[in-house]
Structure 1
């Protein structure tokens, strides 16, 4: 896989994983349905999906070349990016009008 394709894969996966907690009622997308899955469950899922995304990104980085050391700044930016990408799902779940 080329480095360019790896970047696009990580970006698309990030958009998918950031919105997944808001578009389904299952715990971690495979568990049992939860009738009133609250915001705390959704945020926990978002944190765990961010960890999955980090693991996939590190794996792809290792396949394409030397892995770079990541400081706290990287993880702060990653958190902000995941929260930004989760905004459409949050709006769809919590802010849209119910008819």
Structure 2
């Protein structure tokens, strides 16, 4: 009964707008995460460790700004401490690991034509 009252407190239009915003944020984040792979598709990749680290940090910042914009749009922005940023950066790196495994550990280089 309590759960039913919770869902009845919001009108369907506001729930639909919230879900549309949530889907848009998730879609934009997934595009940002996939961008480096799309950009380098079919090309030899020659980047230093520093360039890759900078790329990860820039995309982390973009995702963070998008998250804060979504939070401000929904209501008040909450103050965060350094622990929040350490945990979210760790999660960002962990969630990016499957792409690293696919790109560098599972894919085999294409054989060169003779």
Q: TM exceeds 0.5? A: yes
Deviation, structure 1 residue 24: 3.4
CA RMSD across the alignment: 2.7
Q: How does 1:19-98 map to 2 (within 5 A)?
A: 19-25=34-40, 35-98=45-108
Structure 1 segments unaligned to the other structure (5+ residues): 27-32
Deviation, structure 1 residue 40: 2.8
User: Rg bigger for which structure?
Assistant: 2
Q: How many residues align?
A: 92
Deviation, structure 1 residue 69: 0.4
1:18-57 Cα offsets, whole Å, 9 max, x none, are: 443345329xxxxxx8851244322211100111111111
Secondary structure class of the residue paired with 1:46:
helix
TM-score by structure 2 length?
0.62
- Residue in structure 2 matched with residue 17 of structure 1 by the alignment: 32
Does 1 or 2 have the higher relative contact order (CA < 8 Å, sep 6+)?
1
